[in-house]
Structure 1
Amino acid sequence: MIARLGIIGFGNIASTLFDVLARDGRARFEAVSVLCPPGMVDAAKTALADRAAALADEVSFHESVDAYLATSPDLTIECAVHQVVRETVPEILKAGCETIIVSIGALADDATTAALQDAAAAGRTRVALVSGAIGGIDALAAARLAGIEEVIYTGRKPPHAWTGTPAEEILDLASLAEEAVFFSGTARAAATQYPKNANVAATLALAGVGFDRTRVRLIADPAATGNTHEYEVRSASVNYTIRLEGKASPDNPKTSVSTVYSVAREVLNRIAPLSI
């Protein structure tokens, strides 16, 4: 059970998560603690204070990991960026606090993965990876035990969702008239080059055949109304194809709003007497 909830970050995912948990009504904590970058406490309070107050009477905001850990969170949810996963999460794990990671693409770096595993072992805790915007991860992870031949993932989003990424150097996103494949390669390359857009590819890689054997295509499509994730699996136990048409977050088109609900499900499963 979770009595004291902690979260890293105060952006769109964090704020929407608090709203979802409050609306559900089952989540009520002794305390909620927020870890934010130095100099950003006021901004974090503006974004999250009222939302957090709907979940706990005790709400606090912190700039340092030490101050954050002093609040004794039972569970930390990382809703930040890859750099935070590399530089901050290991310290939290070493302190014995289980951590849910949303920025799964950070694990495309083998050194980061090893550091997280070592830190979790040292703290006698674990890292939890949520499925995020994709589905069927249970089937994929089970198929890995039988032997997987291939996993091919295709990510399709409207052109504006790729703004601020290397896709801008390949395509004229503003005037794109038809769909265009601008990336074809490994999940490792996709997660590294498109860190805010390819967490799904990283999730599939970790559940399946790894970052270097998972094949990825990324598409900008002016006809797309949301973020579409499709992948095909061929294995010794099951062959299947999944296609999900996720709704883009209204505040951040790079993020599928289903990611937030995936995290909320993980939290609620920790506090419910029956979980699924």
Structure 2
Amino acid sequence: MKIALIGHGAIAGYVAANLPANSRLVGAICRPGREAAARSALSAVPALSVADLPERPDLLVDCAGHAGLRAHGPSALTAGIEVLSVSVGALADTGFCAELEAAARAGGTRLCLASGAFGALDALSAAAMGQGLAVTYTGRKPPQGWRGSRAEEVLDLEALAGPVTHFSGTAREAAQAYPKNANVAAAVALAGAGLDATRAELIADPGVTANIHEIAAEGSFGRFRFQIEGLPLPGNPRSSALTALSLLAALRQRHAAIRI
């Protein structure tokens, strides 16, 4: 299977270094001016667009966030190239979501969303088949995990003495307000009750050292509560190890004789 990547950061590097045996990397899409960095990070041929890739990939794997999916997802799908992405929060934009769906239909292919930094999405998907599903997602990170986000506009992250909720609203609102921090909220919502029915709370907590994701769900199926304390990729505190691993798991499942 020929694979191309969007991005050349920590997640892309981890995926490239651990591709399944039946896969090979044919190129990486980067921003203009970043060709040398992409080549150095991945030992891959850099390209500025899907059309510039040296070989047509069977699968384009988005490791670059919302901007990367926006820039290259529609063109790849229209060309009939399947896309695998962890930028789930980008689908909170209804117009862009419709654009991706139209492109996939036009190209006769599909956009696949990896589970990213969270799990239990299979249980949520099953619960959504019943009645009265109510879901709350809570994202708790140490103050430094919220740097560069809207949390800095409402909190003094250096001065926190205890946990503070800096966002409470719908998963759609969270994904749009925190494009680099709330992909999990969007994934939980899309798997379960939907972007507008799923509640989201984002917390800065100086008492924790890991990124903690929790969902609480109840409905006609019963109820469950699920929590993950996610560790970063070695050497990069801003990239989730489980996000990179979820992409590798999705690649492995593509050709598995038995899937779960």
Q: Could you say which TM-score interval applies, normalised by the shorter chain? A: over 0.9
Please say if residues 7 and 68 of structure 2, whose CA atoms lie closer than 8 Å, have aligned partners that are also in contact.
no
Per-residue deviation, 1:19:
2.8
The correspondence for 1:47, drawn from 34, 41, 64, is 41
> Match of 2:52?
67
Read off the aligned partner of 1:98 and give its amino acid letter: E
Please say if residues 89 and 186 of structure 2, whose CA atoms lie closer than 8 Å, have aligned partners that are also in contact.
yes
Read off the aligned partner of 1:90 and give its amino acid letter: P
Per-residue deviation, 1:240:
0.8
DSSP 3-state at the match of 1:121 = helix
Per-residue deviation, 1:46:
1.2
Read off the aligned partner of 1:153 and give its amino acid letter: Y
Please say if residues 145 and 238 of structure 2, whose CA atoms lie closer than 8 Å, have aligned partners that are also in contact.
yes
Read off the aligned partner of 1:225 and give its amino acid letter: T
Please say if residues 20 and 261 of structure 1, whose CA atoms lie closer than 8 Å, have aligned partners that are also in contact.
no
Pairs within 5 Å for 1:183-194: 183-194=167-178
Cα separation, 1, equivalents of 2:28 and 2:132: 40
Per-residue deviation, 1:273:
3.6
> Match of 1:197?
181
The correspondence for 1:233, drawn from 208, 217, 223, is 217
Pairs within 5 Å for 1:96-175: 96-175=80-159
Please say if residues 2 and 23 of structure 2, whose CA atoms lie closer than 8 Å, have aligned partners that are also in contact.
yes
DSSP 3-state at the match of 1:228 = strand
Task: Say whether 1:36 aligns with 2:20.
Answer: no
> Match of 1:6?
4
Cα separation, 1, equivalents of 2:236 and 2:178: 15
Read off the aligned partner of 1:48 and give its amino acid letter: L
Cα separation, 1, equivalents of 2:25 and 2:173: 39
Read off the aligned partner of 2:21 and give its amino acid letter: A
Per-residue deviation, 1:30:
4.7
Please say if residues 83 and 112 of structure 2, whose CA atoms lie closer than 8 Å, have aligned partners that are also in contact.
yes
Cα separation, 2, equivalents of 1:61 and 1:165: 29
Task: Say whether 1:27 aligns with 2:11.
Answer: no
Give the TM-score, by structure 2 length.
Answer: 0.94
State the aligned residue count: 260
Read off the aligned partner of 1:248 and give its amino acid letter: P
> Match of 1:212?
196
Per-residue deviation, 1:33:
1.5
Please say if residues 148 and 233 of structure 1, whose CA atoms lie closer than 8 Å, have aligned partners that are also in contact.
no
> Match of 1:52?
none
Give the TM-score, by structure 1 length.
Answer: 0.89
> Residue by residue, what CA displacement relative to the aligned partner does 1:88-124 show, whole Å, maximum 9, x if unpaired?
2011001111101111110000011111111111111
Task: Say whether 1:88 aligns with 2:86.
Answer: no
Read off the aligned partner of 1:19 and give its amino acid letter: A
The answer for unaligned runs of 5 or more in structure 1 is 50-58
> Match of 1:15?
13
Cα separation, 1, equivalents of 2:25 and 2:244: 20
> Residue by residue, what CA displacement relative to the aligned partner does 1:158-194 show, whole Å, maximum 9, x if unpaired?
1001011111111111121211111111111110111
The answer for unaligned runs of 5 or more in structure 2 is none
RMSD over aligned CA atoms reads 1.6
Instruction: Note closer, same or farther for the CA distance 1:249–1:220 as it changes in structure 2 (3 Å cut).
Output: farther
Please say if residues 197 and 254 of structure 1, whose CA atoms lie closer than 8 Å, have aligned partners that are also in contact.
no
> Residue by residue, what CA displacement relative to the aligned partner does 1:2-36 show, whole Å, maximum 9, x if unpaired?
x2111111111101222333xxxx42435422111
Cα separation, 2, equivalents of 1:185 and 1:250: 32
DSSP 3-state at the match of 2:195 = coil
Per-residue deviation, 1:270:
1.9
Find runs of 4+ consecutive structure 1 residues off by over 4 angstroms: none
